[in-house]
């Protein structure tokens, strides 16, 4: 693994939760800190939460929305 100059390893240990967004663990620097990554994660979560898909179910047009639990799973996949 290549290490960037000036990058610091930060490990956040928190109480394990069954539901909710996970803690962020990345190599961080002064330019990209935990607040920056957390803000990006929260914006991503909000955008995913608003997604909706048009589908045909039993030959009827239906709108399927992303549930909060699925939005959490999607966000955790990309940010953990």
In a domain, 1, yes or no: no
Rounded to two decimals, the pTM is 0.63
In a domain, 58, yes or no: yes
User: In what helix (H) or strand (E) does residue 67 lie, and over which residues does it extend?
Assistant: none
Domain extent, residue 60, equals 8-79
In a domain, 42, yes or no: yes
Residues 68, 26, 79: CA angle, nearest 5 degrees = 20
Instruction: Give the chain's domain count.
Output: 1
**Per-residue pLDDT tens for 12-29?**
444 555 577 777 766 777
In a domain, 46, yes or no: yes
In a domain, 2, yes or no: no
In a domain, 70, yes or no: yes
In a domain, 73, yes or no: yes
At 80, is the pLDDT very low, low, confident or very high (cuts 50, 70, 90)? confident
């Amino acid at each position: 693994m290549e290490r960037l100059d000036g990058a610091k390893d930060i490990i956040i240990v928190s109480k394990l939760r069954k539901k909710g967004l996970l803690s962020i663990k990345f190599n961080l620097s002064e330019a990209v800190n935990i607040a920056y990554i957390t803000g990006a994660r929260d914006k991503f979560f909000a955008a995913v939460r608003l997604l909706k898909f048009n589908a045909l179910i039993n030959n009827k047009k239906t709108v399927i929305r992303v549930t909060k639990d699925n939005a959490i799973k999607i966000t955790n996949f990309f940010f953990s």
